[in-house]
Amino acid sequence: MAEYSAFSLLKNALTGNRDWKPAWRKPDPKASYDVIVIGGGGHGLSTAYYLAKEHGITNVAVLEKGWLGSGNVGRNTTAVRSNYLLPANTRFYEHSMKLWENLSHDLNYNVMFSQRGCLNLAHTPAQLDDFARRGNAMRHLGVDAELMTTAEIARLIPALDVSGTARFPIIGGLMQPRAGTARHDAVAWGYARGADRRGVDIIENCEVTGFLRDGDRVTGVSTSRGEIRAKKVAVAVAGSTGRVMQLADIGTMPIESHVLQAFVTESLKPFVDTVLTFGMGHFYMSQSDKGGLVYGGDLDGYNSYAQRGSLPIVDEVMSEMLALFPGLARVRMLRSWGGLCDMSMDGSPIITTGPLPGMYLNCGWCYGGFKATPASGWCFAWTIAKDEPHDFNAPFTLDRFHRGLVIDDKGQGATPRLH
């Protein structure tokens, strides 16, 4: 695969762009591999990339039932942040943030990471106190955090209704300046290209239909393109985790699958130069490079494997947006889509060995899957290569729930849809 550079861009522009090479190969599956990664989304691709780059394990296959990036990695609102309260989450997501900051150079692929900040709005004194507590916890662990006044917020986002007559008056906010957004498709393509360049086989249109076993040990998979054997089989399929684990006769998992909608408007002139979240409901928004407002809100509230949502959530999200920006009332929404969220019992992920010998599990990402992509792959690759977790993912075990070691950053208890 050719390197991308200013020189190659100029060369191909002068020759009619006829000589670009494919970003990754389209290989047929081999009979066996050292590692099979099920799931060709961001987490599966990053896992394969770091297996090859960090651990020298290149005899790896990534199996994707559709086309590369057709799942959640291309169905999110692209926000990247590490503004968590509890130490386990803060350390993990800050590691991810540091990987994001050099990711384009590392992959030789522009993932369009834009550190424009993430601002959480506070609407009551108690909420601002809680944000101060979280900001202090972040700063104790070396993560950037700043409390902002209403006047500072008004200067940053002039279109925001900060008046005393607003439906939900704004009294301040918590800003993480290093947070931002990235281009979700570019992240998938960049990791795919990087893994392919190191010898990983990315096999699209290859649906896993079962697991091969030798006693309890997983020794490979049955697929729509035949049986493939492997020493290790890793599962990274987000909202489809329950379905895939049933193929291994594991019927109960501490996660639920829910649909999460996202929306984009027509293009507007730049006026929101940060990621913004609403404190009196569940709403978050940023503005894309093309000018569209990209935003979302709550889950639809019922278990589903559908990649589409329902109208009540559309109404709720639009109402919350207009509470903050009344001037957007006549802006047209262009499209919406849904992604499958694998909601864990405590709102934190699972990156671990097992639950069967020869199997490795990556799931439970709730709302945090996209921003975790680099650290998830990095830690999952470590766990697969060494058969033990790294310190960053050691708390995210599958057995923490019955051991009482939950990591409930939001404090919502054992109700997955509330996280």
Inter-residue contact 319 to 160 (CB < 8 Å) = no
Helix (H/G/I), strand (E/B), else coil: 55? helix
Q: Is residue 193 part of a domain?
A: yes
Cβ density class 113-142: b for 16+ within 10 Å, e for less: bbbbbbbbbbbeeebbebbeebbebbeeee
How many folded domains does the chain comprise?
2
**In the prediction, which pLDDT does 319 show?**
96
Residues 6 or more apart in contact with residue 325 via CB below 8 angstroms: 159, 160, 161
108-157 tens-digit pLDDT: 999 999 999 999 999 999 999 999 999 999 999 999 999 999 999 999 99
CA-CA distances (angstroms) from residue 217 to 56, 248, 362, 406?
24, 10, 18, 28
CATH number at residue 361: 3.50.50.60
Final residue before a domain boundary, out of 292, 313, 344 = 344
Inter-residue contact 275 to 119 (CB < 8 Å) = yes
- Statement to judge: residues 271 and 327 lie in one domain: yes
Q: Determine the structural domain holding residue 394 and report its residue range.
A: 30-82+85-107+184-254+346-418
- Statement to judge: residues 312 and 379 lie in one domain: no
Final residue before a domain boundary, out of 320, 344, 368 = 344
- Statement to judge: residues 315 and 351 lie in one domain: no
Final residue before a domain boundary, out of 300, 326, 344 = 344
- Can you count the helices (H) and strands (E) in the chain? 11, 18
Q: List the chain residues with pLDDT less than 50.
A: none
Q: Please count the other Cβ atoms lying within 10 Å of the Cβ belonging to residue 231.
A: 17
Strand partners, 333: 265
Burial class (CB in 10 A: 0-12, 13-18, 19+), 39: buried
- Statement to judge: residues 169 and 203 lie in one domain: no
37-90 tens-digit pLDDT: 999 999 999 999 999 999 999 999 999 999 998 888 988 999 999 999 999 999
Strand partners, 337: 262
**In the prediction, which pLDDT does 179 show?**
98
Return the closest-CA partner of residue 188 out of 63, 106, 69, 108.
Answer: 69
Q: Please report the sign of the dihedral spanned by the C-alpha atoms of residue 42, residue 256, residue 78, residue 332.
A: positive
Whose structure tokens read 């005393």?
A: 164
